[in-house]
Every structure is written in C-alpha cells, then in structure tokens.
Structure 1
Amino acid sequence: MAPAPKSVAVVGAGPAGLATAKYLLAAGLRPVVFEPKSHVGGLWAPPSASDAIDTIQLDPRMTVNTSKYTSFFSDYFPESVAALPDRPVAREMGEYLKGYAATFIPPELLRLETLVTGVEKRVEGGWKVRFKGIASNKMENEEDFEFLVLATGVFSHTYTPKIAAADSFEGKMLHVSDYDGEKLFSGKKKPRKVVVVGGELSGSEAAADVALRVSSLPEEEREKIEVIQVFPRPPWVLPKLGAIPDPQVQGAPKLLAIDQGFYDTPSIVNSPPAKDPKEKYRRLHKTLIGIKGGDQSDISPALGVSPEWRDKPLSLGLSDSYIGFAKSGAIKTILGRVVGVKGQRGLEIVTVKEGEESRALEDVDLVIWATGYTPLRTLSRILSPGLKTAFGADENSCPAVLTRALYKQTLHPALGPTGAFVGIQRRPYFAMFELQARWIAGLFTGKIIFPSLNDFEDVAKGEAHLLAIGKIDEVMIHAGGGGDYIEFLRQIGKIIGIDDVFKYGLEMNCRPRPWIPAHLPPFPDAGSPRSQHSLAAQSALENQINSESTSPSLISRHIFAQLHGHWTINRHIVSRLPGFPSGIFTGTAIFQPRLSTFSSPLLAGQSCTTGHTVLPPDTNRYTMGNEITEYLYSETGTLTTETGFSFQGSRKYIYTLDPDKGIMSTWFVKPADGVSVDYFFHRIEIGRKPEKLENEWGCRWGVEKEGGVKAASEHLCERDWYWPGYRFEYEGPRLKRFWIRYRVQGPQKEYVTEAEYTRG
C-alpha cells in the first residue's frame, strides 16, 4: 500500500493560497486550505453576510490595477476569461478564482468559513494548527500537519503609521479603504480642507476621486474646498493605458495596458544585470521618463522626479485623471511626511526637499491615509509568541519589516524547512505566487535543497553586508519600487530548474512582446508542451496588441482622458453668407471633469440624426479609480472679423464617454443654467475620415493633414446640417494638439469653422 501523502496546512484561499494548493497537489502532497470567508478569492471574494471576520473586502465594481494577462494564472485561461475586458472588476476576478479552485482543488480540501486562531511548531516536527468554524461559532479545534504555508496576503488589514498627538485631532481621519466619496460630498456639510497622505496607487486614486467630486460641485462650493496630497517621495503617476507611437500612422498612438509595455520581454532579456540597486533604479526611472514623456516637473515641483531621486526606489501611482487635476492646481502637492497633529485641526509636516523643515497645515477637516496595508495583524493573531519574536515585528510595525526579513521573500529560519510564506509581496502578480508555490513544492518533497543557515544570517545582516560579500542577487530581489518582480522571476526560476523563465515571451508575434504568467514553463516537467490555456492567453494578447491596440474604442477612451484641462484655441471662420461674418477667434478652453450628470442609450451604429433620450445617470457605475466619463466644456475669447470688428464670445458643451462601447459624444448645454444637458449634438466617430474641403473652400485645413487620429460625424440640428471633422495629433505618449472643424449648411447658414487646440 502506498504511503499517505504528506499534509500541508495552507492558511488563506486568495490567489496565493489557491496557487499553492494546486502545485502541492501536483507534487503529490495533500494541502488543506483554511479560509475564514465563505468564498475563495481573498480580496476578490464576493461579500457575504456570513463573513464575520475583520479583513479588507474590495468593492465588486472596482477595476483591477493590472491587465487580465498579468492578473491570471499560467494554465487557466478559459473562454469566459478571454471575453472579459482587459481590466476586469473585482467581481469578475472573484469568479475567475472560483473557477480556478473548482478546476484544480477538490472541495474536500477547502475549509471555508474556518478561522485559523493559532499555529505553532511541534517538538516532534511539523505544525499544530488551531482553528474554529465561523458560521456555527464552533469550539476551537486543532490538527497536526507536516508542513505549513502562510498565504494570508499583504492586503488583509490597513496600515496607518503612528503620528504624534493623533488622538487630539478633532477633524476626521480614515483609511482610504473606508473612504466613501459619495457620502462625504453629497451632504450639506462638506469638508473644506482634505489632506490625502500617501502617493502610491491608492493615494493617487483617492486624491483624484476627491478632486473629481469637488470639480462636480457648483462653482460657489468648489472654490471653498482645498485638496492637498502629501507624499515622502515623488510618485510616478501612470495612466492605465500607455501610449506608444503607432508605426503605421505618424502622430497616432498604439495603446496597451501600462503593465504590458513595462514588461517587454526583449528589453528584459537584453538588459545586462545591474551592479547594485542604485543602477537598477536609474534604469527604471529612465524607462518611466520615456513612458511619461518627461520627469513630471511640468505637472508640479513636488511631482518632479529630478536627478537626486533617480537612484532611489520608485513610487508608483495609477490614475487617468490625477495628472490633469495636479497640473491645474485642483490637487496641491507637498513633498514631505506627516509626523503629528498640531492643535485641534492642524497637521505637522516635515518637508523633504527643503532641508527637513517643519511646516503646519491648519484647519484640516479630513485626513485620508493612503498608506497601504499590512499582513502583520493577521500574523500577530495566529503566530506563536516565539515566532513573532523571531520575525521582529508586531502588528504596528511597518509591513516592509517582514518582507526584508525573509529569504527571497519566502523563507525564514524560524519556520525551518517545513514552513514558508507565499504572496507576502506588495504587488499581486500571479506569476510570483506560482513560482513560490513550485519552489515550496520542491522543498517539501525534498527535490530542492533548503537554503543554508549562512544564507539566512547574511539576509539578516542587511543590504550593506550582502553587497560587501558579493551577494548581489539577494539585494536585488528585495529592491523596492516594483523592480523586484523581474528579479524574483529570474532568481526563483533558476532555483526550481528553469534556466530561462522569459524564453516563451520572445515567441510573441507582436510588438512589444510582453512577458505574462502564461509564459511560465509547464510543471512539473518544464520541457513538456505548453497547455492549451497558456497558448490561448498568448494568442489573445497577440491579437489585442496587433489589432485591438488601435481600435476606435480604445483610442476614444485614451483621447477622452487626454482632453482634461486647459487648451489654447485658434479658430478660423469662413462664411459665404453676409449675415454670418468670417474671421478669427482666439481664446482658451477648459475641459472640466465631473461625475456623470445624465445617461443616454447612445448606441454604436445609430444614426446621428436620430433623437437621443436623456436619462438620469447610472449612480451605481462609478467607483474610485474608474475613468472620467463627462466634461463640461467652456471656452471664452475674442472674435476678430475680416472687417476689423472685435467681439467677446463664449460657448459651452458637454462631452461624454461610454467606456464600455468607447463612444465619445457632444451635447448642447441649457442656456438657462450653463451646466445642464439640453440635447444631443453629435457623436465623434473615431476612424471615420472627415470630408475633403480644401479645393472647395480654398483653405488649408488642419483636419485634412496627414497623420494623427481622425474622426467625423454628421447631424441635423433643427434646420441646419453639421458635418464635424476631427484630427488628434500625439507627440510620444501625450495628445499634443487637435483640430475640430464644422461645415454647416442651413437656410440662414453656410460656413466652415476650424479650431486648433494646443496645450495652454
């Protein structure tokens, strides 16, 4: 009779725990997965009334920060996944993880609604795990296991740094996970001064969300509210869609999810190893300067990643609207650290660039801590006192204390050869979880040698010691700013016998060639043929890059985001009727973002001459981090006629985006209030070429020049026909300028007007 498989307790059924269980099973072990929630999926699990456990839960509508190709596993890409948008929402991620568990993990090995209350090493070897059922409030039980994997995740609880006199603050302080912008800004009493602390992902999203809600208020209320963001180092705030030049059309973009452009396989493979972290950081900063088209100093001084920051770890934010708000001053930025409370509503800040000087922010109503998450509260609850002492961290410690103490972010001498961490990294990249799980499977089955005591002691002595003795790899795998992802893949791949973890990325039939988890070699035999799921994911991404990256829908979304802010206008008017003068209009235009004020069944393919019903907005659609879908457009300036007369003029429109269909449209504003929608004007049909007018009207129209992205439409407005034409011209990743032309024909009108917009 064959011996029973060795048992492994896996704590946590998020993506890290599920991947671990899958690979342990494939290695011949018997994992038992403990999860206090009623569903698998961790952060992405659907909320349930029986989830009586204090951990973070995502809004089911919230979009994932990385594309689906980075956020899915190497060998699970069913047809239902291929049909999802490039950035799924949390609900869709939860369904994906549910399907992954059903495919690879027998249900009897999943102990849902079971809270682990303690783990400790047994004298005779292995682990004792204590647990209790949540739904039935059962008494605590215990069970012995030969191995233990802690996959509790890094996002299980909020982290807020301790500051002096925090209890004396009479305003409101909350973590970004508790932020409800709708509730805060819909009542009569709104916060007048809001301070967002933190500059990375949730910091940029929270600051942008507050700014959008303020921008949506009436002008008299808007002017009374101040939004301030404080961060200790300038964050690179990246758009969710990255633009690279389209090789087929000058001045037009090719669009990719930002993570796809960042992990181009040839760039990874052809880059020589950095000699130390500082060189690595300089390379990463250089890459980001190329992606952003500059160092952000033109946005605000605090956001400028000047040379003195470029040998330090990166700070990364992600938002399509943040840069526009920061550039306009709607978000005021301060490079510094919040160190304490002063008085009843003041914050003491130590500035970073001004010689560590102290300054105060007075009359603060709301502080939003966007300072991240920590696994330490969960671990402090379940680890024995001896283990907690060995890790040198308690639940109030900075989360980085734990990851710096681990060998290759996975192992610790206090756990010994029978215990490990999976998924303790700050970035939820699924490929990291898979490689950790494969490594652990090899360790627990004795196929891979456990690191030596000297290896652990060297890590404990810190970076300077590791550099002095030449252990560059161990330093690089802990290097911050997200650059550790590639180093982690390379190093763990070699440990588990994959000499070139990036080779399948080079087989991509597209440009660029992003490395994704589907490029991981098969397990346990890395030389066996790749699975159909792996090949399907690669094929879908190739198609997206080759065909969909220049699709009208994607281009519309990117152009719409780029419109945000101030533009300078130079408009030429050529009229054939004496009652409508020809001339030149010069002035400024503002695309002011706001929450959607209405909706309309504007369908692709619907005639622009068809009436469009105006409906109330879909208030359930918007969540923090989503795209802006509406602008109030305002322009003011001077019209100088051919006869020398000058007139002051202004006009307003509403621009909207349907993000699902990628359709932009323009609407008239009610003259009575100057802000509400009146009726439909026209749709902006990307890819439709404007009509040729040069010979007929004798002008050199900017819309008709070669290059850029072109659009056109037509619309019968009461008795007048309008034929709009557009051309959008990119320079690198940014929309540099654009032209809007209208040919108008009616009983009292016959003219052409074309405006050139350049950044003001």
Structure 2
Amino acid sequence: MRKTVCIVGAGPSGLVAAKSLLHDVPSGTFDVTIFDAQPRIGGLWPLRSDDGAGLVHPLMVANQSKHTVQFSDLAWEQDAPELPRAWQIGRYLERYQRRYCQEAKLKLRRRVERAELVQAPTDASAGSRWWVQTRSDNGEVEEEAFDYLLVASGFFGKPAMPSLVPRQPDVPVLHSSQYRDLRSLLGNLDGKGGKILVVGGQMSGVEIAGTIAGHLSSAVNSPQPSPIPNPDSYTIHHVIQRPVWVFPLFTSPKPASSAPPFLPLDLDSYNLANRPQPLTNTQGHISAEAASTVHSIYQAALRTDQSIFSPHVAVKSEDTEKPPYLAVSDNYMNFVLSGLISVSHGKLESLSDNVATVSPLKEEVGAIAAVVLATGFEASSSVSFLPATVRETLSESPSHLNNTLALAFHGTHHPAVPNLGFVGFYRSPYWGVMEMQARFVTALWAAGGSSSPSLPPAIAAALSGDKSIERTLALRTDPRASQFPMGDYAWLMQEFAAALGLERSPPLGEMPRLPPADKEMDILTPARYTAKTFTPEQEAEVIASLQQTKDTAWAGIASGKFVARAVFRSLLGEWKLERDLVSKLPSHPSGHFSGTARFLLRDGTREGRESEFDALQKTADVDPVQEYLYIEEGDFKASNGLTFRATRRYVWRYNEKKDKLSVWFVKTDDQKRADYLFHELDFTVPAPEKREEGACWEATAGHLCVEDFYSPSYRFHFESVNLKDWTLAYAVKGPKKHYRIDGVYRR
C-alpha cells in the first residue's frame, strides 16, 4: 500500500527528498506532498535576479563552485559560471523540480503550522500518523493525515538577533541576511557619514563586510550618481572575536609555485588524493594538536599569516591551538589593507545612541551610522510546528545554534519517532550530504524503519554503531568544538555511501597530477555517488557533470585559466609605482616617475560593452562584471631637470565568460567613464622547466594608436593567491613615438 509523505519546505533539501522518495525506490512506494510558505520553490535561493525578499541576496556569489552546489543527476548548463550567483542556483533548482518532482503535489503559499502524532483509530497495529495543519497566505486552514513527516524547512530558520540591541535603536540596525544595498541601509540618513559597524567574524561577517565595502567603493568611484549622499564619508568597522582565515574564491593547488595555477576553492579542498583512505572525521572536537596542524595547512595554502593585510587579522602563534575558523571572500582582505575596513577584536556588549561598547576591554566605537549583525541564524522556528513532546525527544535547544536538535545517523532521524525524518537540517548543508540524507531516509522508510527485519544489513550495521546523538549533545558544551561541528564533508559522504551500499565512481579519465601526494586529482563531487536505480537519462547527466569537473581541473592546471581572474582580484587597493622612461626622440624627454597607482573597485559600466548589456537585458540578467577605475598620481622628473606632477587614468575589466583581462582608455571629458579598448592581456603558460626556475605569469598585448604601435608586456609575481609585485613595460614604436617604459608596482 502506498505510504503518504509530507515534506515541509521546497528548497534544495525538500526537492532532493521528494526526488529520492519518488525515484530511488519502486514507483508507487510513496505519495509525496511538499508544502512551502513561499510563493515559489527554492527556499533560501531566489529564482530571479531582482528577488530581494528572501534571506539570500540574489546577486550573492556562492562560496562553493557549481561542481559542489549540485545534485548527482543534474549537471549545470555548459555555459554556467564556475561560481554561480544565488538566483542562478534558484534556477538550477527550478530545472531540478521540473525534471524529478512533477509527481509530487506541490502546495506553495501554505505554511505548516502544526503537526500532531495521531494513533490510527481502527487499527492499533498500524502505528501513528501525522495530522498536519497548514494555513494559506490568505488565512485558509487545511488539515491532512500522512504516514511520514519529513522536515526540510532548513537550518536557517530566521536571523538570530542579540537581545542587547535596543527595540528602537538610534541608528539603522539589520541582520546581514537583510542587507541589499546602500540606499536601504543609509538612504534615510543625512549623509554626514560615520562607521558602518559589522558584528560577527565568521563566514557571513566577512562576506557582508566585503560586500558593503564593494558597494561603498562603487558609489564613490562610479560615473553614475551615488545611491547615497557623500559615500566617501563612510567606513566599515568590523568587530570579530578572533582572527579567521580568509580564502578567496579561487585558490592554488600549487601555492609555492612562482606561477601558481588557480582553481575554484572547493576543487582543491575536496581533492581526495591528498587524504589518507579511509577518511576520518576532521570536525567535531578539535584537539590542540589537530588545530595546530590545520592552521599550518591554511598558512601554507595562503603563504602568509595574514599580517600583510593588518595585524588585526593576523593569525598569531598563540591562536594556533584554538580550533581554526575559515571564511571566504575575494575582496575583504584587500579592503582591510586599504583601510576601508578596520578590524577590532571583542564582542559587542552594548549599543546606545551611536556608540557601541566592545568587551572585554570596554572599547567604545563611536560615530556609528548603521549596524549590520552577522550573528547567524536560529533554527528552532523551522521545527516550531512539531509537538512539544517530540521537540523534547529531539533535545531541542534554541540556544545552541549549531546543534539545535540531536538526531541520529548524521542528522536524518530519531529512533524514538520512526516516521519523522530530516534532510538538510544542519549548518553548512553541502548539497552532496543533503542528497545522501534524502537517500538514507528513503531507504530507511522503504524498509519499514530501523527495527524492521527487512532493513538492509549495511544500514543496520551503520545504525548499530551510530553515536550521532551522543556526539551532538557532547559538542554543545565543548569549548573545542569546530566551526562546522556536524562532520567533515568528504567523511560524511563516505559514511552515507557505506550505509547505502554505494560505490564512489572514479573520475572521468585522466586527471592532473598535483603535489603534495603527486597523484592524479580525485575531486569529490555529488556526481561521484550514483544510485543503482539511475535511468540512462540520469547517467547522461552524471557523465556531463563529471566532464565539467574534469574540464575545469585541466583548464586551471594546464592552460592558465582563472589566472586573469586571480590577477584582477589581487589588484584591488594602492600600489607604489616606480617607472623609467627612455626615449629615443628628442621631442619626448626621458625621465623617472615616482608615485602611486590605485585600483578602485566598482560595478561594471556600460561604455564599450553596450552589446553585452543589451544581451543581458534581453535575458533579464544582471551584469555580473566588476571593474576598476585605475588612477596613478606622482611626480615625473625629466632628464633635462624639469619635475612636474603627472596623472593618468584607465579602466581595468575582467570578463568571466572570456576569462580576459582588459585595459580601457577613459573619456577626456569624463575621466570616470571608459572610452575605448586599449588592449587585452594574453597570458602565456610557463613551460614546466621554467616554473622550476622561478618563472612568473607573463602576459602580452598590442595596440595601434594611429601610426604608433604599443607593445605592453606584463610580469605578475604571486605569493600563493596574492600578487606580491608586478611589472608593466611598454615598447612604443612609430613615426611619432619611439620610447620604452618600465614600471614596477609594489604594495
């Protein structure tokens, strides 16, 4: 007899749960209904670039690549960016729902308000059922009975707001998930400026501080009118409890190389070739020795303790016995270096008028214009519809944000409530683990529960040795708990696969060989774990996904793809510039320039790229391109003894689809606007033997200006992910000009 299942939530967890219940067991085993209070599917992930109503900014760039942010049997479109934006992830989920969840009854705009366990009145042996009450957004109430209830309403229930914030604060206060733009944060202020206080030093704190800094930089340096008055009068003050390692979105698997290749962060992180097998859990309780080891790995990957940016973000030797924390941001560290973001250590103790007090030193941070709280999320609201007795059984603890519920076998169920399941109810819900949780709950229920004699032996063995509940409860009070205590991603995938009898498939053909193991890359993605029930169509999606991962790995390692992106990211901020000019024509004096060069980040502008903008508007897309306004200023001392002030401006752009870095002239009558293309940089991959000799990344270009030809050549010296210094030389030849310029840029 077909069993009915109520799924609460139509985000990625709810959709993958529905797919598993409908496709991973014989057809007709389960009848699935999905409820969601929103008018759309997607959960946190918006479906449109202008949908700002949810908890995730639609233009936010994912901090995991498309190879990780996916399910096993649906590949991303071939032209999808390596790091999709939030609304693009929503569109992926929309495709997934159309492909695999059409048989489920989807009931949007219906919030689950109450679920009660009710004994079947006519057959005591049938066990209890869930009586579920829902309310539509127009107030209509419906009730329905289900055999099973699956909670996929998410760990990120609602923003966690500290009680110390006054009910009517004197300055704007909002949660980081609510920030959308400067106008909504500061637009009602008088433009006198001040500090934007960002509270919270983990993932969301670093990310939102970097985002707001980028918006301020764009408002100051864009040719468009600023969305707020006097944007240059604002700075960001970031309060963190302790230093956190900040990685950019693209890192290098060869950080010691003088010409390092680059890949999306997670491809190197999930390279199983660098880990001993079988995998052990690296999360949970972190000993001082284990902490020190991971800190050293992070420092080796970045080739710095971060003191090059500021002493306030440096991970000092006394910090390395504490469990390491990690955050991801492309621009945060360079904004710290530039001074737009200042950092202090402590905990927000009070907020009164426009002054914040930070403990333990009672430091006062004054002249606050607005406060953004990156204080995480509380998950209890996501299970508020469950009976109090059930929540007590699950050891619900709203105060423990990372361990709100104590659930068995890696967050999937509780043996005392056999017809209640969970998918995605934990912090850092990597999509592969969500899919494994859904498969596990499906297999458990299809077999009749954990006490059923028909339970597959592998699942029975996994359950018999499971200590997830005890581990969760212990970690709640463990001062050495890791940043993401549920478990190591790769290890969780291994444990679920063993319980489900799934084999990890090999990569699709030969992969690049990398240090330190000197083995072929073995990148963990959801597509590596396929179900035995997959159809030929699903297998084709698996092959397409594995091919994308292989192509990305080879492109980054062998062809220098993403180097232009890494250069562009690392240019942000101010450089010391020394330049020699040697002219062979008496009409153009030789001399030396000494000054600064500033790369000022801003949103992409239309000039020179009108066709791109028109194409984006036709698809209702948003231009994802950022660019720099380049300003150099200094003194030129000519060989004839004359000294004069000199300045010049360009616009630097990175095109992600073309993986091209380009330099543009500015208009003479509006020097914030691009005019026409100066040149595009063509990077050359150094020969392996030259890399051993310390070769750096080189790029060349060419530009004909009337009759004179410019031949720029670049040399970029990296220290892991960061540019240490770089050079730019021009050879200019023609009937009117004949000279050479050699410039050196240093931080």
Normalised to the residue count of structure 1, the TM-score between the two structures is: 0.82
1:71-119 deviation line (CA, Å, top 9, x unaligned): 1111222xx6233121223333223222222332343433333321111
Q: Kindly indicate whether the alpha-carbon contact (under 8 Å) linking 2:649 and 2:666 is maintained by their aligned counterparts in 1.
A: yes
In structure 2, the partner of 1:44 is 45
Contact 2:263 2:556 in 1 (8 A): no
CA distance in structure 2 between the partners assigned to 1:308 and 1:481 by the alignment:
23
Could you say what secondary structure the match of 2:709 adopts?
strand
Root mean square deviation, CA, Å: 4.0
Are the aligned partners of 1:599 and 1:614 in contact in 2 as well (CA < 8 Å)?
no
Deviation at 1:431, TM superposition (A): 0.8
Contact 1:132–1:139 (CA under 8 A) maintained in structure 2:
yes
**Map of 2:387 onto structure 1:** 384
Trace 1:253-332 onto structure 2 (pairs within 5 A): 253-270=260-277, 273=280, 277-278=286-287, 279-332=289-342
Over 3 Å counting, the alpha-carbon distance change for 1:22 and 1:681 in structure 2 is closer
Q: What are the within-5 Å matches in structure 2 for residues 424-503 of structure 1?
A: 424-444=425-445, 445-446=447-448, 447=455, 448-449=459-460, 451=463, 455=467, 458-459=470-471, 462-463=474-475, 480=484, 484-498=488-502
Q: How does 1:36-435 map to 2 (within 5 A)?
A: 36-46=37-47, 56-77=54-75, 81-123=77-119, 125-132=127-134, 134=136, 137-143=139-145, 145-163=146-164, 166-167=166-167, 169-183=169-183, 184=185, 189-190=190-191, 191-218=193-220, 221=230, 224-245=233-254, 251-270=258-277, 273=280, 277-278=286-287, 279-341=289-351, 343-350=352-359, 356-380=360-384, 382-393=385-396, 397-403=399-405, 405-411=406-412, 413=414, 416-435=417-436
d(CA) in 1 for partners of 2:551, 2:604: 33
CA 1:593 to 1:94, structure 2 compared with 1: closer, same or farther past 3 Å?
Answer: closer
C-alpha distance 621-572 of structure 1, shift in aligned 2 (>3 A): farther
Change (3 A) 1:524 1:234: farther
What TM-score do you get using the length of structure 2 for normalisation? 0.83
Cα deviation, residue 414, structure 1 = 7.8
TM-aligned CA distance change 1:419 to 1:507, over 3 Å: farther
Instruction: Give matches, 1:307-706, under 5 Å.
Output: 307-341=317-351, 343-350=352-359, 356-380=360-384, 382-393=385-396, 397-403=399-405, 405-411=406-412, 413=414, 416-444=417-445, 445-446=447-448, 447=455, 448-449=459-460, 451=463, 455=467, 458-459=470-471, 462-463=474-475, 480=484, 484-498=488-502, 504=506, 509-511=511-513, 512-523=521-532, 531-547=539-555, 554-601=562-609, 628-639=626-637, 641=639, 646-669=643-666, 675-677=671-673, 679-680=675-676, 682-687=678-683
Do the aligned residues in 2 keep the contact of 1:340 with 1:349 (CA within 8 Å)? yes
Letter of the structure 1 residue corresponding to residue 78 of structure 2: A
Is 1:740 the counterpart of 2:728 in the alignment? yes
The aligned residue for residue 34 of structure 2 is 33
Shift of 1:419: 1.5
Paired residue type of 1:485: Y
| SS at structure 1 position matched to 2:598 | strand
- Go from structure 1 to structure 2 and tell me whether the alpha carbon gap of 1:242 and 1:455 turns closer, same or farther (over 3 Å shift): closer
Distance 1:483 1:329, change over 3 A: farther
Q: What is the deviation of 1:539?
A: 1.9
* 8 Å CA contact 1:597, 1:617 repeated in 2: no
For residue 150 of structure 1, report the CA deviation from its aligned partner.
Answer: 0.7
**One-letter identity of the residue aligned with 2:474:** G
Give me the identity figure in percent. Answer: 26
SS in 1 for 2:408: coil
8 A Cα contact 1:630 1:655, kept in partner = yes
Cα 1:706–1:344 change in 2 (3 A) is closer
CA distance in 2, matches of 1:61, 1:464: 34
Find the counterpart in structure 2 of residue 695 from structure 1: none
Q: Distance in 2 between matches of 1:308 and 1:627?
A: 40
2:389 corresponds to which letter in structure 1?
A: G
- Give the residue type in structure 2 aligned to 1:429: Y
SS of the residue aligned with 1:189? coil
Q: Shift of residue 549 of structure 1?
A: 5.2
Distance in 1 (CA, whole Å) between partners of 2:467 and 2:94 is 38
8 Å Cα contact 1:409-1:421 kept in structure 2? no
Code of the aligned partner of 2:306: Q
Deviations 1:359-400 (A, max 9, x none): 2212312001122223322322x1222233444547x63422
- Distance apart, 1:5 and its partner CA: 2.5
Stretches of structure 1 that go unaligned for 5 or more consecutive residues are 351-355, 468-474, 605-612, 691-704
- In the alignment, the residues of structure 2 paired with residue 7 and residue 647 of structure 1 have an alpha-carbon distance, to the nearest angstrom, of 81
> Which sits farther off after the overlay, 259-268 or 454-463?
454-463
Query: Are the counterparts in 2 of residues 561 and 628 from structure 1 also a CA contact under 8 Å?
Result: no
In structure 1, the residue matched to 2:518 is none
Name 1:18's counterpart in structure 2.
Answer: 15
C-alpha distance in 2, partners of 1:629/1:579?
A: 35
Preserved contact between residue 555 and residue 686 of structure 1 (Cα < 8 Å): no
Distance across 1 between alignment mates of 2:590 and 2:543: 60
Change (3 A) 1:392 1:337: farther
Q: In structure 2, how many angstroms separate the alpha carbons of the residues matched to 1:225 and 1:465?
A: 40
Q: Which residue identity is paired with 2:296?
A: K
Q: In structure 2, the residue corresponding to 1:687 is in which secondary structure? A: strand
Q: What's the offset of the Cα at 1:516? A: 0.8
1:752 to 715, 719, 740: 740
Contact 1:19 1:437 in 2 (8 A): yes
Matches of 2:621 and 2:190 in 1, distance apart? 25
Partners in 2 of 1:743 and 1:187 — Cα distance?
52
Measured in 2, the distance between the counterparts of 1:83 and 1:649 equals: 43
The answer to which of 226-235 and 264-273 deviates more is 264-273
Counterpart for residue 702 of structure 1: none
**Alpha-carbon distance change, 155 to 505 in structure 1, aligned in 2, over 3 angstroms:** farther
Larger deviation, residues 722-731 vs 260-269: 722-731
Letter matched to residue 417 of structure 2: G
Flag structure 2 segments of 5+ consecutive residues without an equivalent: 121-126, 222-228, 449-454, 514-520, 687-692
Structure 1 CA distance, aligned partners of 2:372 and 2:162?
Answer: 12
Say whether residues 1:711 and 2:712 are aligned partners.
no
Moved more, 415-424 or 124-133: 124-133
Instruction: Please give the per-residue CA displacement for 1:137-162, whole angstroms capped at 9, x wherever unaligned.
Output: 4333131x222211111234222222
Offset at 1:453? 12
Q: Return the alpha-carbon distance in structure 2 between the equivalents of residues 504 and 552 of structure 1.
A: 25
AA in 2 matched with 1:148: L
Partner of 1:696: none
Cα 1:508/1:334, change in 2 over 3 Å: farther
Q: Is the 8 A contact 2:262 2:560 kept in 1?
A: no
Question: How far off is 1:598 after superposition?
Answer: 4.4
